[in-house]
A and B are shown apart, each in its own frame.
Chain A
Amino acid sequence: MQKFTTLTAPAAAYLKPNVDTDLVIRVERCSRTPRERLGDYAFEMARFTGGNGDSGAPDPAFPLNRPQFAGAGILVGGVNFGCGSSREMAVWAIAGMGFRCVIAPSFGEIFYGNCFQNGLLAIRLPQAVVEALGGALLAAASPVSLTVDLARQVVIAPGGAEHRFEIDPLRKTGLLEGLDPIGLTLRREAEIAAWQAADRARRPWIYNA
């Protein structure tokens, strides 16, 4: 998995609350679009005229289509960002647009977990901080960069103000070192086998279905 240490990148804001993963990537794209092309269809219904990434043009009313957000690497989102469906294609689509970090007051839990499986850093900051960061981005006429320092667990605003965030230590290490979660668990095969052997005696019905 791709490492994440520090990132300084232009940031974009889309502060709508409860952005669900159906809105991030439509279900038919999940089944019929190659992973590497999902970014072209991210936020399709809001991003393109007619709600269609194939036939529509970029809709100027959609915040992420603003010229100052072109090439952004950090996405500032609203409350409960990524709620709904478990589709990991939502993360692939956002990563496919070029984002490596999403900052929001809160996240849909499955989406949040899926981010870390793909080297995408999801950061929870207080709502007032997110709204201030996002508001400044939306008000700016030219690109504005933020810095994210994962080791120090801070987001650094353009003026230098630092906003500390909390992150599960295992997820932090996983991103910093680019660790493969499956590989790490496979190292515990003996423990898993021993646990199952004991469990078979304790709960035989689980294994006899």
Chain B
Amino acid sequence: MGMTLFDKVWDAHVIAELGGGAQLLHVDRHLIHELSSSRAFPDLAARGLKLRNPALTIGSTDHVVTTNPGRAGAAPWTIRMIDAMRAECAGAGVRYFDVGEDGSGILHVIGPELGFTLPGATVLCADSHTCTNGALGALAFGIGASELLHVLATQTIVQSKPGTLRANFTGSLPRGVYAKDMILALIGRVGAAGGSGYAVEYAGSAVRALEVEARMTLCNLSIELGAKIGMVAPDEKTYAYLQGRRLAPKGRDWDAALAHWQSLPGDADARFDREVGLDVSSLAPQITWGTSPEDVMDVDASIPDSPKRDALDYMGLAAGRPIAGTRVDRVFIGSCTNSRLSDLRIAAAVARSGKVAAHVEAWVVPGSIGVKRAAEAEGLHEVFLEAGFQWREPGCSLCVGANGELVAPQARCVSTSNRNFVGRQGPGARTHLASPAMAAAAALAGEIADVRDFPV
């Protein structure tokens, strides 16, 4: 029987069998950020250990850094944490991409952008959205603080091999519908625990048709499907995306790597433990109504009469009413889900058609310095600013609020991020997950709106 992409990459990284199905895997790439890692090096030193392979690790600052324009008004505790991160990386010999420096930004944006994330590589980070990196055909997953120490000290991780799930997207996306809608619809269909116990491979003609950045959006929400790992088989788009990037292989290394990568896609006769399919041809723009990403609906539908009364109450919504027309207070375009250049282009196309409603505070937070500069080179920042959006500095920002940027209690935010959990964007904050196009449309309309009514 043939092997899946996941099987090939996993099996190629097994250093030792540990018994009972547990295996010791090599970690090719380790991404570290200030929130989980500023404590890690002192903890490592306290145990008399040191970083085993500094060259396989990169660091940047994303969770706590302020995204205020010009980085104004950073809280002292965030400055101390970032100072510690910088010093610890310097002491350990880790390449650290400092705030504002070339290459810096949200880890799951810069990993691919720098060409540090590669097809067939294992990529770990103490952040659950590490699965984003799987869009390049990497085997990438999030870990906790203890496992982070284990990776630093040994360049390995102990894991048991999960099952495999193939999510097959067929058809072609209608106007105004994007990768974000594909993955939200899938989560709605199989549930927030539907991928639990599996490594997911996203496949099918609709995935092949996606550009690499859109595949990152798809893989990003794997954890919201309950799966630590999401992958897309590498193809010509992947190789073209990677070639020439700062840390990507060069010269003879490139040729050898490319030959290896071309052997990674799953065999035609490979079998998956579970298969799910979704035809995207008639998909409507998606938006969440509740407090789990599985609480998702078509934007032109009515709010479901769900038994999740506490979610409806928290969100201040009534079952049976259309969700379109619900007044919004905030809009957030950003996060490791949807903060790349292609996301900003899509949002800007909508933003060009009007002005942000007077009662809405709308933010655009690029995912990295690279994204910010590329967007500015195209004039996208001017489009956003003229429409009344804030154009901010890179960081995780309102996705998680770790830096103190929050949505007020009971305020309603349409967000391109990944979690609509209770309190995720701030105590009492009401989050509606949607695509960048839908978020921009909500900003202009001042209410949840169907982006298909806008020029997209």
Known: A109-B196, A168-B160. A205 touches B249 (CB 8 A): yes
The answer to the question of B282 belonging to the interface, with a C-beta cut-off of 8 Å to chain A, is no
The answer to the question of A142 belonging to the interface, with a C-beta cut-off of 8 Å to chain B, is no
Known: A45-B427, A205-B256. A169 touches B128 (CB 8 A): no
Interfacial residues of chain A within 10-52, with CB under 8 A of chain B in the complex: 18, 20, 22-23, 26-28, 30-32, 45-46, 51-52
Q: Is the CB of B20 within 8 A of A169?
A: yes
**Chain A interfacial residues counted at CB < 8 A:** 55
Instruction: Please name all residues of chain A whose beta carbon is closer than 8 Å to the beta carbon of B419 when the two chains form the complex.
Output: 20, 22, 84-85
Q: Is the CB of B128 within 8 A of A185?
A: no
Other-chain contact of B144, A20, A88, A195, A199 (Cβ < 8 Å): A88
Q: Is the CB of A208 within 8 A of B253?
A: yes
Nearest CB on B from A52, distance (A): 7
Known: A18-B292, A199-B26. A86 touches B144 (CB 8 A): yes
Q: Is the CB of A83 within 8 A of B192?
A: yes
The answer to the question of A138 belonging to the interface, with a C-beta cut-off of 8 Å to chain B, is no
Nearest CB on B from A112, distance (A): 9
Instruction: Please name all residues of chain B whose beta carbon is closer than 8 Å to the beta carbon of A83 when the two chains form the complex.
Output: 192-193, 226
List the B residue with the shortest CB-CB distance to A23: B422
Q: Is the CB of B158 within 8 A of A170?
A: yes
Q: How far is the CA of A190 from the CA of B102 in the complex (A)?
A: 37
Other-chain contact of B154, A22, A84, A85, A182 (Cβ < 8 Å): A182
Q: How far is the CA of A86 from the CA of B158 in the complex (A)?
A: 16
Q: Is the CB of A206 within 8 A of B20?
A: no
Q: Is the CB of A52 within 8 A of B427?
A: yes
Known: A20-B419, A188-B15, A204-B253. A88 touches B47 (CB 8 A): no
Instruction: Please name all residues of chain B whose beta carbon is closer than 8 Å to the beta carbon of A80 when the two chains form the complex.
Output: 192-193, 196, 226
Q: How far is the CA of A107 from the CA of B118 in the complex (A)?
A: 30
Instruction: Please name all residues of chain A whose beta carbon is closer than 8 Å to the beta carbon of B153 when the two chains form the complex.
Output: 182, 185-186
**A102-138 contact mask (Cβ, 8 Å, vs B): 1 or 0:** 0000111110011001100000000000000000000
Q: Is the CB of B128 within 8 A of A110?
A: yes
Q: Is the CB of B56 within 8 A of A106?
A: no
Known: A185-B154, A192-B15, A208-B249. A86 touches B142 (CB 8 A): yes
**A168-196 contact mask (Cβ, 8 Å, vs B): 1 or 0:** 11110000000001100110110110011
Instruction: Please name all residues of chain B whose beta carbon is closer than 8 Å to the beta carbon of A186 when the two chains form the complex.
Output: 49, 153-154
Other-chain contact of A84, B126, B128, B144 (Cβ < 8 Å): B128
Q: Which of A18, A84, A117, A188 has its CB near the most chain B CB atoms (within 10 A)?
A: A18
The answer to the question of A152 belonging to the interface, with a C-beta cut-off of 8 Å to chain B, is no
Nearest CB on A from B422, distance (A): 6
Q: Is the CB of A85 within 8 A of B128?
A: yes
**B20-51 contact mask (Cβ, 8 Å, vs A): 1 or 0:** 11101010100000011000000000010100
Q: How far is the CA of A26 from the CA of B158 in the complex (A)?
A: 28
Known: A185-B24, A209-B55. A51 touches B292 (CB 8 A): no
Q: How far is the CA of A185 from the CA of B27 in the complex (A)?
A: 13
Q: Which of A32, A87, A114 has its CB near the most chain B CB atoms (within 10 A)?
A: A87
Instruction: Please name all residues of chain A whose beta carbon is closer than 8 Å to the beta carbon of B36 when the two chains form the complex.
Output: 86-87
Q: Is the CB of A27 within 8 A of B401?
A: yes
Known: A86-B126, A182-B153. A31 touches B158 (CB 8 A): no
Q: Is the CB of B146 within 8 A of A181?
A: yes
**B224-257 contact mask (Cβ, 8 Å, vs A): 1 or 0:** 1011100000000000000000011100011011
Q: How far is the CA of A203 from the CA of B121 in the complex (A)?
A: 10
Q: Is the CB of B423 within 8 A of A22?
A: yes
Q: How far is the CA of A194 from the CA of B146 in the complex (A)?
A: 25
List the B residue with the shortest CB-CB distance to A183: B47
Q: How far is the CA of A84 from the CA of B49 in the complex (A)?
A: 30
The answer to the question of B145 belonging to the interface, with a C-beta cut-off of 8 Å to chain A, is yes
The answer to the question of A9 belonging to the interface, with a C-beta cut-off of 8 Å to chain B, is no
Nearest CB on A from B202, distance (A): 18
Q: How far is the CA of A195 from the CA of B27 in the complex (A)?
A: 12
Known: A22-B422, A209-B247. A188 touches B402 (CB 8 A): no
Other-chain contact of A205, B21, B150, B254, B294 (Cβ < 8 Å): B254
Q: Is the CB of A26 within 8 A of B423?
A: yes
Instruction: Please name all residues of chain B whose beta carbon is closer than 8 Å to the beta carbon of A195 when the two chains form the complex.
Output: 15, 26
Q: Is the CB of A182 within 8 A of B15?
A: no
| A–B pairs, 20, beta carbons within 8 Å | A22-B422, A32-B77, A79-B193, A84-B224, A84-B419, A86-B127, A87-B36, A107-B196, A108-B196, A109-B196, A170-B18, A181-B146, A182-B149, A186-B154, A189-B154, A191-B16, A195-B26, A205-B253, A206-B28, A209-B55
Q: A85-B400, A110-B223 are in contact. List 13 more A-B contacts (CB 8 A).
A: A18-B193, A20-B422, A28-B402, A83-B226, A84-B419, A84-B421, A86-B128, A86-B143, A113-B147, A170-B18, A186-B154, A205-B257, A207-B56
Chain B contacts to A: CB under 8 angstroms: 15-16, 18-22, 24, 26, 28, 35-36, 47, 49, 53, 55-56, 63-64, 77, 81, 115-116, 118, 121, 126-128, 141-147, 149-150, 153-156, 158, 160, 192-193, 196-197, 223-224, 226-228, 247-249, 253-254, 256-257, 260, 292, 294, 400-402, 404, 419, 421-424, 427-428
The 6 closest A-B pairs by CB, nearest first: A169-B20, A117-B146, A205-B249, A88-B144, A114-B144, A205-B253
